[in-house]
Chain A
Amino acid sequence: GAVVSQHPSRVICKSGTSVKIECRSLDFQATTMFWYRQFPKKSLMLMATSNEGSKATYEQGVEKDKFLINHASLTLSTLTVTSAHPEDSSFYICSASLEETQYFGPGTRLLVL
């Protein structure tokens, strides 16, 4: 139980394009989902909290216009990296909250050329 999927698993894009990443909770409903990024050998950094039916809450230093989050249903949240640049290349991971526990997706590796 408590399975979370992400799509795509890997994406390569050109600088200036936008990329959408989907996060789905497959066997439970999640009113709250979270988006993280992780650089090699670094800890997961929380980017934003995604709440179903309301605006996302961004952590300090995260550009909300750069990283658009939509939580349209209790099982789906999307992260769109707009006008991507090479410095946005990273491992993006989502989680879905079930009570106090967060269940993570497998991650999306983004490479911006």
Chain B
Amino acid sequence: SQKIEQNSEALNIQEGKTATLTCNYTNYSPAYLQWYRQDPGRGPVFLLLIRENEKEKRKERLKVTFDTTLKQSLFHITASQPADSATYLCALEYGNNRLAFGKGNQVVVIP
């Protein structure tokens, strides 16, 4: 069966450190993968898109890697700040631009 796995445990991290989140998937062949941020009671906010032929993408303090052999994406927040505290969602394309989402991984940045 198809699965998208993100760590269910919250990641508590000291301000200024790098937060690294993992997204593993099985039985998908996504043309691209996206990362979103979601705050409680709000809709997701788009962060980054990475295509299957790209290994790495950066945007300001964010970095995403995509390994289609391992079926894994890593999401990094460098120099983390308390304002980065949120839930981060991994989403895979599965045809006709539809997205399948993971459950998300909560990040708590401690001042």
Contacts A43-B89, A107-B41 given; does A101 touch B98 at CB 8 Å: no
- Which one of B4, B43, B96, B100 lies within 8 Å of A49 (CB-CB)? B96
Alpha-carbon gap, A22 to B34, bound state (A):
25
Residues in A whose Cβ lies below 8 Å from that of B96: 49, 57
Is residue A102 contacting chain B, with contact meaning CB distance below 8 A? yes
A87: Cβ under 8 A from any B Cβ: no
Q: How large is the interface on A (under 10, 10 to 19, 20 to 34, 35 or more residues)?
A: 20 to 34
B98 to chain A, nearest CB (A): 6
Q: A44 to chain B: which residues have CB within 8 Å?
A: 44, 89, 101
**A100 close to B (CB within 8 Å):** yes
**A42–B102 Cα gap in the complex (Å)?**
9
> Shortest distance in angstroms between B38's beta carbon and chain A's nearest beta carbon?
9
Q: A43-B89, A107-B41, A109-B41 are in contact. Are A102 and B46 (CB under 8 A)?
A: yes
Chain B 76-111, CB-CB to A under 8 Å as 1, else 0, gives 000000000000010001001111111110000000
State A6–B41 Cα separation when bound (angstroms). 13
Contact B97 A42 (CB under 8 A): no
Q: Separation in Å of the B43 CB from the closest CB of chain A?
A: 4
Q: Is B42 an interface residue (CB 8 A)?
A: yes
Which A residues from 43 to 93 make CB contacts under 8 A with B? 43-46, 49, 57, 91, 93
Report the minimal beta-carbon distance from B107 to chain A, rounded to whole angstroms.
Answer: 15
The 6 closest A-B pairs by CB, nearest first: A104-B43, A43-B101, A44-B101, A43-B103, A107-B43, A93-B43
Q: A-contacting residues of B (Cβ < 8 Å)?
A: 4, 32, 34, 36, 41-46, 49, 89, 93, 96-104
Since A6-B43, A34-B98, A102-B99 are in contact, a sample of 20 more A-B pairs with Cβ atoms closer than 8 Å, ordered by chain A residue number, is: A2-B46, A4-B43, A34-B99, A43-B89, A43-B101, A43-B102, A43-B104, A46-B100, A49-B98, A57-B96, A93-B43, A97-B97, A101-B49, A102-B34, A103-B46, A104-B44, A104-B45, A107-B42, A107-B43, A109-B41
Residue numbers of A with Cβ under 8 A of B are 2, 4, 6, 32, 34, 41-46, 49, 57, 91, 93, 95, 97, 100-107, 109
